[in-house]
DNA sequence: CAGGGCGTCTAATACGTTTTAGTAGAATCG
DNA sequence: CGATTCTACTAAAACGTATTAGACGCCCTG
């Protein structure tokens, strides 16, 4: 038997060869192909390809005729066929390794993603998202995506100390940008924030107010940016001689609250507490209020992250603020560059977060 | 000239034919193909395909040998080639039409997405996300994605009154689930929440406390769920005779605040205010505090959405709570069913949000 | 022992596009 | 006016996989 031929323009004896056994919603609209467009425009498929890809070598009249037919029928090149020939997929991937439930808690991710996407959308590029349990699966996904040729680029987030991913992704040959790392060696282009300066900014503010005994409710120490903050704190401690105690947490409100309790029960009491994120800061504020310790009179509170939470708290919280959306667009811009030009890896500095002084910080009470 | 042949297993004189002219990071690892696996396993490409797709027709020994080789080399079928043969892409799409900057404000979206993804990830399905400006572009994207065969399924969010998208998507033949609509006719399977019952639940609570004059700061009236809430309010008004006034907003804290101001300056004053989302509720709480109107003594406050915002506010806010993450997983489950079986459209009811009574509601003050 | 049936495997083809090599005709040039 | 270059287009060969039709043994059965 000859290979099954699709019903072409000729005699169409098979009006609907569709499945007679499948009752509901079983119509298949018989996908258009470039041959159809070519036939209707009276040209070859090669001409169709040239026209839709805007390449030179066609008269304006012919080009227009082809495009008119294509638009009329709302035909686009089949993505898979195009990708098979080595074209871009117009997809960038993000794989996140976090407990899925925690994603919605922080506004950071959603805002970053929005910024990223709003920049990529202009180029018709979509973002492909996968949430996995652990870093191992994450690595497996990178491998799989590379093998499958699924994405044109990657964004790496939440870099851990000694994270193996940048090296792996670079070796896999996928264009990528990492957010937050600018270590050496640097296998990938990175967008980084000066956590050191930001941390110093907070501490300078508190020291200037007169605080000499400061608590720090830190995030997960496995992350690189946490380490950078801790190092900055050490530097300030060494240079100014003030006392700073860090307590590590998992960023949750629960651990933020219990860390706060420990700091406020200490004797002598810490006169200021710095929190690595907004959720913990607000939770800590609640704890202080519960314990009858007025903020900012008896204890000042500062958050590393700014959000609707910190502005709406009472008292509103002094916080480091940054444009997370813009961070996303910056990352996207760099990724587009990497995808297009494959330049040598380089660090790109994002604006350093600014300190917004609100109602939660003041000079420590006299003793 | 004969067609370019890739260097095969034979004499390997070309250790690294990589580009000598492009200096940085220009290695291309020469993608593996099924032929390579076949050669190394000593079988045909057909056997490789059968093995990796787990289809019957191969002895266990051969099957294992093939899979071993494939895993060893970390080879996977090229996605595009596979998709070209009509296989699934393992991608579902979500197109959101909102100002990009607003996405991070509400936790709803991030949580929903997490739930969706955590369910889809089990099947190795990724989510493709696109944020666009308006509904027109959204429709164009659906058309393009359909024509390109980019996604296996769609999730439709933020349904407007008379939204044309369900009909369009159904006509395009893309499996899809809509969140929130259960109208007639229903071209697509929908996951819906009983907004009517939820709204009634809030009002019953306030009426039971003794409130007879209630303000409602509503969201954008173009959305279907806003309409359902408004209708529910009307029903309660009609059946109980209490007074309820709605003010439409765009969900922003700014408009929430100004609406609150209007309600609290009214004479006689409204003794309770219901907000369509948590951001506005917290903003309204701030306004009341500023105006020297104690909550809940002089005015009760209820939020339609629950989040870290409502729990951390002082006083903490009475709110409707629902498991947005679970809503995501439910939607994913339904979408998977639709993609697999193409059943007739049907409504799937998600659990009705429950009222969590916190500190912001109380009986109205005596007059 | 012929013949059917089954288990295992392969050759060849199709999927829908892009790209390369090439052709026919018109224009240009010495 | 023949040779060259250009313009506008086409035929055919990829891209890497899934699938279909069959081939080849082998076991069973009558």
Q: pLDDT tens, B163-187? A: 999 999 999 999 999 998 877 789 9
- The dihedral built from the CA positions of residue B142, B148, B150 and B152, taken in this order, carries a sign that is positive
Q: Which residue's structure tokens are 């990708």?
A: A83
Residue A248: predicted pLDDT: 97
Evaluate if residue A10 carries a pLDDT over 80. Answer: no
Evaluate if residue A27 carries a pLDDT over 80. Answer: no
Chain B nearest C-alpha distance from A144 (Å): 7
Residue B15: predicted pLDDT: 34
Q: Which nucleotides of C are covered by protein (CB under 7 A)?
A: 7-22
The angle subtended at Cα B111 by Cα A135 and Cα A133, nearest 5°, is 15
Coil, helix or strand for A273? strand
| Interface contact A114-B108, CB threshold 8 A | no
Q: Does the beta carbon of B26 lie under 8 angstroms from any beta carbon of chain A?
A: yes
Q: Does the beta carbon of B341 lie under 8 angstroms from any beta carbon of chain A?
A: no
Locate the chain A residue with the closest alpha carbon to B92: A128
The angle subtended at Cα B172 by Cα A40 and Cα B119, nearest 5°, is 140
Chain B residues closer than 8 Å to A113 by CB: 103-104, 129
* Percent of chain B clearing pLDDT 90 (strictly above): 72
Look up residue A288 and give its two tokens.
């202080």
Give the mean pLDDT of A59-65.
95
Distance from residue B63 (CA) to nucleotide C7 (C1'), in Å?
Answer: 14
Give the mean pLDDT of A62-67.
96
Burial code (b: 16+ CB inside 10 Å, e: under 16) for A122-146 equals eeebbbbbbbbeebeebbebbeebb
Measured in degrees and rounded to the nearest 5, phi and psi for residue A290 equal -60, -40
With bands split at pLDDT 50, 70 and 90, how would you rate the model's confidence at B29? low
Separation CA A280–CA A226 (nearest Å): 15
Which candidate from A110, A132, A343 shows the least CB-CB separation from B103? A110
Residue B133: predicted pLDDT: 83
With bands split at pLDDT 50, 70 and 90, how would you rate the model's confidence at B24? very low
Helix-strand-coil percent breakdown of chain A, rounded to 5?
45, 15, 40
Strand order in the sheet with B354-356: B243-248, B213-218, B272-275, B300-303, B318-321, B354-356
Closest to B175 (Cα-Cα) out of B164, B185, B163, B187: B187
Q: pLDDT tens, A305-334? A: 998 889 888 889 999 999 999 999 999 999
Q: pLDDT tens, B304-338? A: 999 888 988 888 999 999 999 999 999 999 999 99
> Strand D closer than 7 Å to the CB of A58?
yes
Q: Which of the following CATH numbers is that of domain A91-193+325-349: 1.10.260.40, 3.40.50.2300, 3.40.190.10, 3.40.640.10?
A: 3.40.50.2300
Evaluate if residue B20 carries a pLDDT over 80. Answer: no
CB of B260 closer than 8 Å to CB of B205: no
Cα within 13 Å of Cα(A258), Cβ side: 7
Average of per-residue pLDDT values in chain A = 88
* Percent of chain A clearing pLDDT 70 (strictly above): 92
Q: pLDDT tens, B154-164? A: 999 999 999 99
Name B148's bridge partners.
Answer: none
Residue A313: predicted pLDDT: 84
First to last CA, chain B: 98
Residue B330: predicted pLDDT: 98
Q: Which of the following CATH numbers is that of domain A34-84: 1.10.260.40, 3.40.50.300, 1.10.1840.10, 3.10.105.10?
A: 1.10.260.40
With bands split at pLDDT 50, 70 and 90, how would you rate the model's confidence at A121? confident
CB of B300 closer than 8 Å to CB of B206: yes
Residues contacting B150, CB < 8 A, separation 6+? A79, A126, B89, B91, B93, B128, B144
Evaluate if residue A135 carries a pLDDT over 60. Answer: yes
Evaluate if residue A79 carries a pLDDT over 50. Answer: yes
Chain A residues closer than 8 Å to B313 by CB: 312
| Interface contact B314-A309, CB threshold 8 A | no
Average of per-residue pLDDT values in chain B = 88
> Strand D closer than 7 Å to the CB of B304?
no
- Equal fold, A34-84 vs A91-193+325-349: no
Range among A108-112, A359-363, B141-145 with highest mean pLDDT value: A359-363
| Interface contact A100-B325, CB threshold 8 A | yes
Instruction: Point out the nucleotide closest to B1 (alpha carbon to C1′).
Output: C21
Evaluate if residue A31 carries a pLDDT over 90. Answer: no
CATH homologous superfamily of domain B195-321? Response regulator (3.40.50.2300)
Separation CA A250–CA A319 (nearest Å): 19
Q: pLDDT tens, B58-115? A: 999 999 999 999 999 999 999 999 999 988 888 999 999 988 777 777 788 888 999 9
Residues contacting A230, CB < 8 A, separation 6+? A218, A221, A246
Separation CA A109–CA A115 (nearest Å): 10
Separation CA B216–CA B259 (nearest Å): 9
Give the mean pLDDT of B20-44.
71
Evaluate if residue B3 carries a pLDDT over 80. Answer: no
Coil, helix or strand for B78? coil
Give the mean pLDDT of B196-214.
96
Residue A367: predicted pLDDT: 58
Name B302's bridge partners.
Answer: B274, B318
CB atoms within 10 A of CB B239: 9
Give the mean pLDDT of B260-276.
96
CB of B157 closer than 8 Å to CB of B130: no
Closest to B192 (Cα-Cα) out of B302, B348, B86, B333: B348
Q: pLDDT tens, A179-223? A: 988 777 899 999 999 999 999 999 999 999 999 999 999 999 999
Look up residue B58 and give its two tokens.
């191969």
How many cross-chain Cβ pairs, A to B, lie less than 8 Å apart? 194
In Å, how far are A116, A303, A356, B134 from A328, measured between CA atoms? 4, 21, 21, 21
Question: Which of A27, A131, A186 to probe the B interface (max B CBs under 10 A)?
Answer: A131
Q: Does the beta carbon of A117 lie under 8 angstroms from any beta carbon of chain B?
A: yes
Residues contacting A67, CB < 8 A, separation 6+? A51, A52
Evaluate if residue A63 carries a pLDDT over 90. Answer: yes
**Window 113-172 of chain B: CB closer than 7 A to strand D:** none
Distance from residue A2 (CA) to nucleotide C9 (C1'), in Å?
Answer: 22
Residues contacting A354, CB < 8 A, separation 6+? A201, A320, A321, A322
Q: pLDDT tens, A268-288? A: 999 999 999 998 999 999 999
Lowest mean pLDDT among A15-24, A350-359, B33-42, B219-228: A15-24
In Å, how far are A96, B40, B138, B321 from B331, measured between CA atoms? 21, 43, 20, 18
Residue A288: predicted pLDDT: 95
Domain-by-domain residue ranges, chain A?
34-84, 91-193+325-349, 195-321
| Interface contact A312-B108, CB threshold 8 A | no
Show which of residues 138-167 on chain B sit within 8 Å of chain A, judged by CB atoms: 143-144, 147-150
CB of B144 closer than 8 Å to CB of B132: no
Look up residue B123 and give its two tokens.
């099947």
């Amino acid at each position: 038997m000859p290979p099954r031929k699709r019903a072409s323009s000729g005699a169409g004896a098979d009006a609907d060869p569709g499945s007679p056994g499948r009752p509901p919603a079983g119509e298949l609209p018989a996908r258009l192909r470039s041959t159809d467009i070519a036939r209707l425009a009276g040209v070859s498929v090669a001409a169709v390809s040239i026209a839709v890809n805007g390449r030179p070598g066609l008269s304006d009249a012919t080009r227009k005729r082809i495009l008119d037919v294509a638009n009329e029928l709302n035909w686009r090149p089949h993505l898979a066929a195009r990708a098979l020939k080595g074209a871009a997929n117009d997809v960038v991937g993000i794989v996140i390794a976090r407990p899925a439930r925690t994603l919605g808690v922080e506004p950071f991710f959603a805002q970053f993603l929005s910024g990223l996407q709003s920049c990529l959308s202009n180029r018709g590029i979509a973002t492909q998202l996968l949430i996995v349990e652990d870093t191992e699966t994450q690595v497996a996904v990178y491998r799989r995506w590379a093998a499958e040729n699924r994405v044109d680029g990657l964004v790496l987030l939440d870099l851990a100390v000694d994270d193996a991913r940048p090296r792996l992704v670079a070796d896999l040959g996928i264009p990528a940008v990492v957010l937050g790392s600018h270590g050496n060696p640097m296998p990938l282009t990175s967008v980084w924030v000066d956590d050191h300066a930001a941390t110093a900014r907070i501490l300078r503010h508190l020291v200037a107010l007169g605080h000499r005994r400061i608590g720090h409710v830190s995030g997960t120490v496995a992350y690189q940016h946490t380490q950078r903050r801790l190092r900055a704190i050490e530097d300030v401690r060494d240079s100014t001689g003030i006392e700073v105690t860090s307590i590590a947490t998992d960023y949750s409100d629960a651990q933020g609250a219990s860390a706060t309790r420990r700091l406020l029960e200490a004797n002598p009491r810490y006169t200021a507490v710095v929190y690595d994120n907004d959720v913990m800061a607000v939770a800590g504020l609640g704890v202080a209020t519960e314990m009858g310790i007025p903020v900012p009179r008896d204890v000042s509170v500062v958050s590393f992250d700014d959000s609707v939470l910190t502005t709406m708290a009472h008292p509103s919280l002094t916080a480091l603020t940054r444009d997370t959306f813009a961070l996303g667009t910056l990352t996207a811009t760099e990724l587009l560059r990497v995808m297009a030009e494959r330049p040598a890896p380089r660090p790109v500095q994002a604006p350093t977060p600014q300190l917004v002084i609100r109602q939660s910080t003041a000079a420590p009470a006299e003793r």
